[in-house]
Chains A and B, each alone.
Chain A
Amino acid sequence: MTVPASTGVPILRLGDVLVTGLLNELDDKTAVAFADELTERISSDGARGVLIDISRLEIIDSYVARMLMELTTMSRLLGARVIVAGMQPPVAITLVELGLQLTGVETALNAEQGLTALGWHRSPQAPEGVLRDAHR
């Protein structure tokens, strides 16, 4: 299900939700390419929700913050809801001190809570490791 992207960032599709994540080595060019690619995927896959896991991201400076805000707006215009999940506490502290509140960007504590907010629920019966979605 993983589509190797030009940015090297995988974007997975689970039903009408796209799941992706940013790695710690995010340079400016990759950030912009990622935003382009994700908006294209939203359109081509008809996604209604996007989960972006940022738990590996070690810093968010004003450039990346702007990318996340613009990406959220672009996705909303396309009809998809973006949730940014898993921000590291030091990153949150630093962002606030920088004066950036990521206005308009919806967040979740972790990827699981983000997916839940987007309408995905873990089945109560299935034991861990049994869930497979190979034929989706």
Chain B
Amino acid sequence: MTPIGELHAAMADLTGDGPEKPEKREKSEAGVTGGREAPSMYPVESEEDLLTVRHAVRAATIRAGFGIVDQTRVVTAASELARNAYIHGGGGTLTIEHPAGPDRTGLRLVVRDKGPGIADLETALTDGYTTGAGLGHGLGGARRLMDEFEVDTTEGRGTTVVATRWASR
């Protein structure tokens, strides 16, 4: 492989699968939802990007077979997390992944920023706590809207939120 080719491959690795279990997407038993989709990454650098992200997440929830209430939950959580990354994190990315277990499928949002990080995560997850112009319900609220929720943050090195909602059946 040429050096350029290697570079491209490395970049594909970077932009494609995050560190979050890319192997999960092997094959499911003739899933009702069809083949696994590759993850897709969206920039979160502007107000317009927030709208684009909402559209993309809505479309993904529909393809994943989510009902209207779950669609609304996931799109709302995505909106909160993307806005956090944009406002507090100075911009970042949102990646939509399609996790699948043997008997379930879902949608996973990976929201990364390279902002200042969250100094006191416990407090940041408390309702009503805000350092910005919001209501302080963003992070804690988004956690309640999703089934699984992990925050990885280091002061000065940014924040990654991984949030999953499984399709109920």
Q: Tell me if chain B binds chain A.
A: yes
Task: Tell me if B's interface is mostly helix, strand, loop or mixed.
Answer: helix
Interface size range of chain A in the complex: 20 to 34
| Complex interface: chain A residues within 8 A of B72 (CB) | 58-59, 88, 90-91, 93-94
| Complex interface: chain B residues within 8 A of A91 (CB) | 72
| Complex interface: chain B residues within 8 A of A93 (CB) | 69, 72-73
- Bound state CA distance, A29 and B145, in angstroms? 25
Interface size range of chain B in the complex: 20 to 34
Interface pairs (10), CB distance under 8 Å: A27-B47, A27-B48, A28-B47, A29-B47, A62-B138, A94-B69, A94-B145, A98-B142, A99-B127, A99-B137
Q: Tell me whether A61 and B79 are in contact (CB under 8 A).
A: yes
Q: Tell me whether A63 and B140 are in contact (CB under 8 A).
A: no
Taking CB atoms and an 8 Å cut-off, the chain B residues in 49-66 that contact chain A are 50-51, 54, 58
Give the residue of B51, B58, B134 whose beta carbon is less than 8 angstroms from that of A63: B134
**B interface residues, Cβ below 8 angstroms from A:** 47-48, 50-51, 54, 58, 68-69, 71-73, 75-76, 79-80, 83, 127, 134-138, 140-142, 144-145
Q: Tell me whether B47 and A98 are in contact (CB under 8 A).
A: no
Q: Tell me whether B76 and A94 are in contact (CB under 8 A).
A: yes
Q: Tell me whether B134 and A62 are in contact (CB under 8 A).
A: yes
Q: Tell me whether A61 and B80 are in contact (CB under 8 A).
A: yes
| Complex interface: chain A residues within 8 A of B75 (CB) | 58-59
* Closest partner residue, chain A, to B68 (CB atom): A90
- In whole Å, how far is A123's beta carbon from the nearest beta carbon of chain B? 36
- Bound state CA distance, A94 and B137, in angstroms? 12
- Bound state CA distance, A114 and B95, in angstroms? 40
Contact with B along A31-60 (1 / 0, CB 8 A): 000000000000000000000000000111
- In whole Å, how far is B87's beta carbon from the nearest beta carbon of chain A? 9
The answer to the question of A122 belonging to the interface, with a C-beta cut-off of 8 Å to chain B, is no
| Complex interface: chain B residues within 8 A of A65 (CB) | 135, 137
A89-B69, A97-B144 known; 15 new pairs, CB 8 Å cut-off, are: A25-B51, A27-B48, A28-B50, A58-B58, A58-B75, A59-B54, A61-B80, A62-B135, A93-B72, A93-B73, A94-B72, A94-B73, A94-B76, A97-B145, A98-B76
